[in-house]
Structure 1
Amino acid sequence: MIIRKDALVKAANFCAYQERTQAEVREKLKSLDVEGDEADEIIVYLIEENYLNEGRFAKIFAGSKFRVKRWGRQKILFELKARKLSDHSIREGLAEIDDDDYMETLKTIIEKKKHELRTEKQPLILKQKLARYAMSKGFEGDLVWDIINKIVSSPK
C-alpha cells in the first residue's frame, strides 16, 4: 500500500493537470489502493486547498463542450450527471452558457445541416432530419422546432 503522503501528492498532481470531479479522484485513489476514510481525507484536503472544485469543473466542461463541440444543454446535463456532479454544480455549469449564444449556435448548426441536405426536396423529411440532428446534439425539442420552422419555411 502506498503511504498517504505519496497518494496525496499523486492526487494533487492529478487534479493540477486538469479539472477533475470527486468521482474521478476517488477512482484514481482506488487505483493507488487508497479507499475509505483515507480517500475521504485526501479529497477533503484537495477541496480545502482548491485543487478540486466541482463547480469550476462544471463551468469549464459546459462552456467548452458548448463552444467547441456545439453540444446543447440536454447533452451537457446528461454528461455532468453521468460524472456524478451535484445539482448545484450542474446548475453552475449550465449557467455559463449565454442564452443568445445558445440560440445563435442552434440556428447555425441547423442552417449548416440544411445546406448539407440541400438535395432533400420534401420539406417534411428535411425538417425531420434537421430536428433529429439538432436534438442528437442535445438541443431542446421546442427550440429546435421553432428555429426549423423559421428557417425551412423562409425561402433562401
Structure 2
Amino acid sequence: MQMIPQAVEKIMLHLFENDFINESRFAKAFARGKFSIKKWGRNRIVNELKRRKISAYNIKLALQEIDNENYLKTLDELAEKRFYQIKETNKYKKRKKLADYLLYRGWESDLVYERVTGLVP
C-alpha cells in the first residue's frame, strides 16, 4: 500500500494486539473449512498448512477440529459417490482410479485401500 514504515509497524502491532492476526485461529478455520467444504483429508490439510509455514503445534491443534466419526463418514460418502461416477469396467482399473482420487484429496492410504477394497471386490 506504499505506506511509511512507521505506519505499517503501528498497524501491524494493533492487529497482533487485538488478535486479528492469529496463526492458531487461521489454522483451525482452514482445517475446518477445507474438510467440510472441499472434503480434503488430513494429509492434504497438513501439507497445505506446512506450505503456508504454520507451526507444527498449530497444525496439531487444527487437526483436532476434525471429528473422527465425521471424518470416516465423509470418506465413505466421498468414496461411494466417486465409485458410481467411474465408468471403468475393469475392476482393477476402477479400483486404481478410485484410490488415486482419494489419495489426491489427502486421505490416508490405509483408510483409502480399506474402503476401495470394500467397494470394488
Larger Rg: 1
Is 1:76 aligned with 2:45? yes
Question: Alignment partner of 2:39: what SS?
Answer: coil
Cross-structure match for 1:122: 90
Looking at structure 1, the residues matched to 42 and 118 of structure 2 have their Cα atoms a distance apart, in angstroms, of 21
Is 1:2 aligned with 2:4? yes
- Cα RMSD (Å): 1.6
Following superposition of structure 1 onto structure 2, how do residues 3-152 of structure 1 map, counting pairs within 5 Å?
A: 3-5=5-7, 7-9=9-11, 11=12, 42=13, 46-117=15-86, 119-152=87-120
Structure 1 length as normaliser, TM-score?
A: 0.70
Question: Alignment partner of 1:139: what SS?
Answer: coil
Looking at structure 2, the residues matched to 152 and 99 of structure 1 have their Cα atoms a distance apart, in angstroms, of 24
| 1:46 CA displacement | 3.5
Cα gap change, 1:6/1:47 in structure 2, threshold over 3 Å: closer, same or farther? Answer: closer
| 1:76 CA displacement | 0.5
AA of the residue aligned to 2:99? A
Work out which structure has the larger RCO, using CA pairs closer than 8 Å and 6 or more positions apart in sequence.
2
Cross-structure match for 1:29: none
AA of the residue aligned to 2:116? I
AA of the residue aligned to 1:66? F
| 1:6 CA displacement | 5.0
| 1:3 CA displacement | 4.5
| 1:80 CA displacement | 0.3
Structure 2 length as normaliser, TM-score?
A: 0.89
Q: Name structure 2 gaps, 5 residues minimum.
A: none
AA of the residue aligned to 1:80? L
| 1:105 CA displacement | 1.1
Percentage identity across paired residues of the two chains: 39
